[in-house]
Structure 1
Amino acid sequence: MQPEKKMKLRRNLIFSSVAALLALNFIIGARVYSDSVKSRRDRLSVYQSLELFSQVLNMIHREYVDADKVAYRDLIYSALRGMVGSLDPHSEFLTPEDFKDLRDDTEGSFGGLGLVVGIRDGFLTVIAPMENTPGARAGIMPGDRIIKIEGESTEKMTLQEAVHRLRGKPGTKVTITIQRPSTGMVRELTLTREVIEVELVRDINGKKEFPLIDRNVGYVRISQFGEKTARELRAAIRKLKDNGMRGMILDLRWNPGGLLDQAVEVASVFVPKGTVVVSTRGRTLFQNSVRRASGPGDLLVTQDGERMPLVVLVNLGSASASEIVAGCLQDLGRAVILGEKTFGKGSVQSVLPLPDGSALKLTTAYYYTPNKRCIHREGIVPDVVVPIDEDTERYLLLKRTPGGLDSLPENERVRAEMVEDIQLSRAVDLVKGLLRFQERVVRANSG
């Protein structure tokens, strides 16, 4: 190539590089300028909004007709409740009194009705009644709405306020009005509060003996995810294996959830160590996390190293930690999920203390299954859908509660005693079918 052409080519290359750099610099500069302008506008908007808030606050304080309702702290707390409550049903501003109640809930015992509640579609809704509690014995079911507490509408109550009113000294009474959306039935119940103590892991008879329910099929019911749930589950599986278990049913129906750590530990009983169980994702990196299985790995294996079939039962009363376990085992192909769609409570609430003793309970992330499915509002759809009608569900709940059927009239009690748990029956059939399939595969491979 001639020297002139080389020089011209080099000049063109240098010119193109400089032009590209200038263009990139212009784009970055424009973006920075745009962000800066946007930031200034946002700050200006905040200042203007705060000025408006301050004006309204002072106008109310100065001119509202009832002077005893306009203390600055009360007005500001009310405004904060409204602001945070508008975000979602699980976020709320907690006054110092509410924050103390929340701490008491996690640190001590309390009197209550045994109802796990949440806000759904704007209504105070029962997620699940705990077994052998006043709410369960009264026949309250998942999805029922509590529309009044002591004659007062719950329409504008925060979740924390409603929970506070339902709880109280053991032995005291509280009157609630229940509405069942599917039938429109409305009834008023007066219940006596009790100290709520829940057995976490039980067998088919509500005890801790763990017999096989059909020759070689084991059954374990988890009522809630408390501090000892995973430990008790491992002990139950050891008993069942000693009795000759070759396949298992894990019943998470009417389990409203509990501790995240226990959900991860329970899932760890059935999957290899290091497997992703659940992840959380929020707006900040601090809220993003991945929880993996720990421990020795899958305990449901035979002496030959074959994985035992596992069926997990779920329904509308299965929420939060229950959905984490079911979603994990479903995504990993470790279990067949059978029953009805779960509740869909898959959000993370962080409690952020504030200087005056109040706190902000704020949704900061969502839970995701190993296959990145969002649990919140979506729930877990079973692999095998087996619906049951409301009467059957109510009778099954009462049968699980010692003395529960005694609350029924005699003719209805006889009918309830004859009700079949078709979801459990289908689960047993499914485990037996999977065992037969495994046997055929083994025979084919050995032949």
Structure 2
Amino acid sequence: MPRRNLAWLLGVVSLTLLGAAVLYSAPTREKDKDYEMVRLMVDTLHEVRERYVTPVDEEREKKLVSDMIKGGLERLDPHSTYIDPEEYKQFTKTSKGKFGGIGVHVGADPQTRGQLTVISPMPGTPAYKAGVLAGDVVLKIDGKATEQMRLGEAVDMIQGDPGQTITLTVRHEGAAEPIELTMAREEIHVPSVLGDLRRADDPARWDYMIDKTNKIGYIRITNFGETTTAEVRVAVEQLEKEGVRGLVIDLRNNPGGLLQSAVEICDLFLEKGAIVSTRGRNHEE
């Protein structure tokens, strides 16, 4: 083979190898940067595990990592967040507007030193019928103490398949001794559209007319779920039958939900024009 051809072939091989090396090194350097940032989080977690003043169990470690991610995203902007699997499961249930349970809102009340406390039972639900009251401290769920129980774990234990029984050990506000209340779970429908007061003739329904003299209606939308549009439509139709002249729509403390639901509700009141548009980082989005 002539020397000129051999040199040409060697040059092609060299350029090919150089190109491959460049292509390989670029993503490798990018991965190294990613691993370095992840390593910082791992090292922090290891220091907490080994040196924190009290032992940190696996559940607290998971929450710590989740809080790290959430805190970082919140520094980007107040609307970016991380939804962990447990929160996503609850979000899905809330969006559907129904789940298997007993119909009770619970939370950690600072006035009871963070104990699991009933905020309110929903009228007509198993909890309401069994005698669960607002302000009750829930001491046990099916015999398991709630003192060290996370709120999410307590909610998971209370919810379940319709027909299954559950026993709550509660202490009524002002009572000295706790009592046990047993009830069967049902399919609970959680309304996302509320009024100002319950109807006197039917506590399970809302009275949406807040000012009967001036015929002003009031609708509070707690979140935008799959059933919200239909609930708003029913409330508006009820108000129209009562001769409503004006309407207040209360969105305070509404965390959001399904965009399609929000668009559909706006469409009930708007005759023309664009309701919402979205734009992503890339033009094709």
**TM-score for the superposition, normalised by structure 2:** 0.49
**TM-score for the superposition, normalised by structure 1:** 0.34
